[in-house]
A and B are shown apart, each in its own frame.
Chain A
Amino acid sequence: MRSRFDSQLENLNNELVNMGAMIETAIGNAVKALMHKDVDLAKKAVSYDAEINHKEREIEGDCLKLLLQQQPVARDLRLISSALKMITDMERVGDHASDISEIVIMLADKPYQDKLKQLPKMAEVTIQMLNDCVDAFIRKDLELANSVIKRDDEVDSLFDEEKNSLLSVIRENVDNGEVALDLLMIAKYFERIGDHATNIAEWVVFSITGEHKQ
């Protein structure tokens, strides 16, 4: 009985890593599409969101089944409940990746690459944060999870810088307004992804220690 439960938990772990890999791919593709103005890749990234949503529902079903059938306690219960929370944040990251790609498609005929400013740096930091979240979850690495939480401030200040530089882009030439606003949206999405990565990291901490930061 227990061994079956163990294999179900192992499977849940693997599925979470899988979903982590999926959002890493999604955000990676969205960033690549943005940097290289690759509309085809952006279209692919948009449709990829459906797969992530599907995966979320699949894992959610698994978690509920485990809760009902096995009535887990202590650490097992922590893993399952944190899994339920993590997939929600992961799914949101997938949505934002798709949102960014949609903007890339909209901007297809407008030159924007010289106005990206802090965006490449924001992309780099958020991708690394997500990467470290999944790593921390796999290795049960408390330190790494905490480092992700700390890095959120960096993303927030990058967002402020980006906002200011886009403001000056508009000041220089009002015609750039539309592109600048779209880029601001993208910056906001990255900032949100940073927040979700922080949430995921907090749930990783919870699954290890049983304590959840408010």
Chain B
Amino acid sequence: MRNRIYWNMGVLSVVTILLTSLITLSVSYRIYFQQIRDGIKNEAIQIENGYRHAEDPIAYLNSMDTVSEEMRITVIEPNGTVEYDSITDESTMGNHADRPEVEEAVQKGYSEQKRFSETYGKETYYYAVLMEDGKVLRIANTSDSVLGLYVRMLPVMVALSVLVLLVVLLIAARMTKKLVEPLNRLDLQNPIAKAEYEEITPLLRRLSDQNEQIERQLSMMRRRQEEFTAITENMSEGLVVLDHHLTILSVNKSAVQLLNARPGNYQNQNLLRLSRNLRIKESVENALLGKHKDEIWEEESLQVLTSPVMHDGRVKGAVLLVLDVSERMKAERSRKEFSANVSHELKTPLTSISGFAEMMEQGMVRPADMKTFAGKIHAEALHLIKLVQDIMELSKLDEGITNYAKEHVDLRRIAESVVDRLTPQAQNRKVTVTLTGDSAVVYGIRQMIEELVYNLLENAIKYNKDGGSVTIQTVPETGWAVLVVSDTGIGIPADDTERVFERFYRVDKSHSKKISGTGLGLSIVKHAAEYHKAEVKLESQLDVGTTITVRFPADAAEDER
């Protein structure tokens, strides 16, 4: 802009100087020429007068020479001979009769002529007048032509142009500075506020509008980005978005955790900085070729999914999703373990039954022993039935499906009925069962709670010493209904207290028939307690006894399910 202003003003001033001087020169030349003409005419009249009245005309003319040097006076005789010339020797001059001004003067009495000498760049004005004696008086004045004048004026004009140009440029510099300064001072964020030029207001308004539009779009994008970040940061799955150079565009906290990377900002970094596990790199490179992949990494307990990101039919990047599958793998493992256990537990009594039955079939049993054998088969079958019942109970609990409705159940009442049911068993072992405490009401499923209490009490009797004792206590607390079953039994070794709630886990691993059991009792207790959101606490000392405390929330699950 500055240069353009300089340039324009420079050109403008030079052109102005040239044009002005041209016009001025032309006009002044014309006036100047007019003056010369008038002067010559007057001179001619005067000289003619003088000539006419002079006694010696030539002498008169000679005397006139000194008056003006610029003027050339010539007297031409009617035959064309030059009688007198103020500048040149008359004798050397040729016949002048054919000169246009002389010819015209002879005819009309006077003549005006202008001749231009290109060699000298000068212009000669002639004025000829026919005198009374037939001679022609010619006065000539040579002056610069317009062009000659121009040429003479040129150095001055150039000097003047340069001077003017300098001044103009100086002024232009100050002016442009002054002009540009407000533009430079413009606040582009808020252009309208400080606008000094009315002329650029539309532009500034446009600018301001666009600013607002950009700001709007930016804030929208920022909001979207925030939304995206909020969603991804709160995901438990790890999410990584990569471009086709394996540069991370976005990564969430879970991904950093699951991939075991140091916490930090991995955006715009290479994938290998996040995880040097080459399997990930391979999967992502696969995705960049347009292939999906879903893998389970057993060692790391991770599920890793990679997918290409397509745009316009071309792969632009990849998305990596990392899931923690340790829970799922644990569940899978325990399911496998459970079915293996179930098969084993079912097989043992069946093998016995089949063995006894086979012996009876082969006639290897004496009739007297038949009863004993039938009793053994019966006992094994009962065990089998109990086992199947327990498994069914557990699977029902597993699925959380139950046909029973919830109701207010009094732990004390249930404990009473369970004690009644188990009294014969206790008497067999000479175990005294004591029931204490007040009524404690739980909102839950009666059958499940009955099962829980039954299993706890049955265990307390089964794993007791002969002549030992069991205490059942029901305690209503504020917000809680507590059931405490303690025995003076064999106790549980400290190493096993964690595992006794697992299915088929038995402290006595010999599978001996010393104490019959399915290994599912405490599993059922645990499930029933979980269903009612109850806490189970187990305290045990080897050879001293075990106390199991179950704390039900009093209004347990009233608003659940």
Contact = CB atoms under 8 A, between A and B. Distances in A.
A17 B273 contact: yes
B278 A17 contact: no
A108 interface: no
Contacts of A13: 270
B277 A17 contact: no
B488 to A, nearest CB: 46
Interface string B277-288: 110010000000
B276 A24 contact: yes
A25 interface: yes
Contact of B270 (A17, A22, A24, A25): A17
Contacts of B179: none
| Chain A interface helix/strand/loop/mixed | helix
B22 interface: no
A138 B276 CA distance: 11
Q: Which of A13, A18, A24 has the most CB of B within 10 A?
A: A18
A13 B272 CA distance: 11
Interface in A13-70: 13-14, 17-18, 20-22, 24-25
A105 interface: no
A134 B276 contact: yes
Nearest to B280: A21
Interface string B511-527: 00000000000000000
A14 B272 contact: yes
B276 A20 contact: yes
A178 B277 CA distance: 36
B281 A21 contact: yes
A14 B270 contact: yes
A13 B247 CA distance: 13
B513 to A, nearest CB: 37
Contacts of A25: 278
B300 to A, nearest CB: 12
Contact of B277 (A14, A20, A21): A21
Contacts of A20: 276
Contacts of B281: 18, 21
A204 to B, nearest CB: 15
Nearest to A24: B276
Contacts of B270: 13-14, 17
A18 B282 CA distance: 12
Nearest to A21: B276
Interface residues of A, number: 11
Contacts of A22: 278
Nearest to A22: B278
Q: Which of A17, A20, A24, A134 has the most CB of B within 10 A?
A: A17
A14 B270 CA distance: 7
A13 B246 CA distance: 14
Interface in B423-463: none
Nearest to B271: A14
Contacts of A134: 276
Nearest to A138: B273
Interface in B103-124: none
A138 B271 CA distance: 12
A21 B272 CA distance: 8
Interface string A145-164: 00000000000000000000
A13 B273 CA distance: 10
A18 B276 CA distance: 7
Contacts of A21: 272, 276-278, 281
Contacts of B277: 21
B446 to A, nearest CB: 53
Interface in A145-200: none
Contacts of B278: 21-22, 25
Nearest to B277: A21
Nearest to A16: B272
Contacts of B246: 14
Nearest to B272: A17
Interface in A111-139: 134, 138
Contacts of B272: 14, 17-18, 21
A14 B277 CA distance: 14
A113 to B, nearest CB: 20
A24 B260 CA distance: 15
Q: Which of B246, B270, B273, B276 has the most CB of A within 10 A?
A: B276
A45 B135 CA distance: 135
Q: Which of B270, B272, B278 has the most CB of A within 10 A?
A: B272
Nearest to A139: B262
B304 to A, nearest CB: 16
A17 B281 CA distance: 12
A96 to B, nearest CB: 19
A134 B246 CA distance: 18
A119 B272 CA distance: 29
Contacts of B273: 17, 138
A14 B242 CA distance: 15
A21 B276 CA distance: 5
Interface string B122-153: 00000000000000000000000000000000
Nearest to A131: B276
Contacts of A138: 273
A176 B273 CA distance: 45
B1 to A, nearest CB: 31
Contacts of A24: 276
A134 B278 CA distance: 14
Nearest to B273: A138
A28 B463 CA distance: 49
Contacts of B276: 17, 20-21, 24, 134
A199 B557 CA distance: 64
21 contacts: A13-B270, A14-B246, A14-B270, A14-B272, A17-B270, A17-B272, A17-B273, A17-B276, A18-B272, A18-B281, A20-B276, A21-B272, A21-B276, A21-B277, A21-B278, A21-B281, A22-B278, A24-B276, A25-B278, A134-B276, A138-B273
Interface of A: 13-14, 17-18, 20-22, 24-25, 134, 138
Which 10 A-B pairs have CB atoms at the shortest separation, nearest pair first? A21-B276, A14-B270, A17-B272, A25-B278, A21-B278, A18-B272, A21-B272, A138-B273, A24-B276, A14-B272
Given A17-B272, A21-B277, A25-B278, 17 more contacts: A13-B270, A14-B270, A14-B272, A17-B270, A17-B273, A17-B276, A18-B272, A18-B281, A20-B276, A21-B272, A21-B276, A21-B278, A21-B281, A22-B278, A24-B276, A134-B276, A138-B273
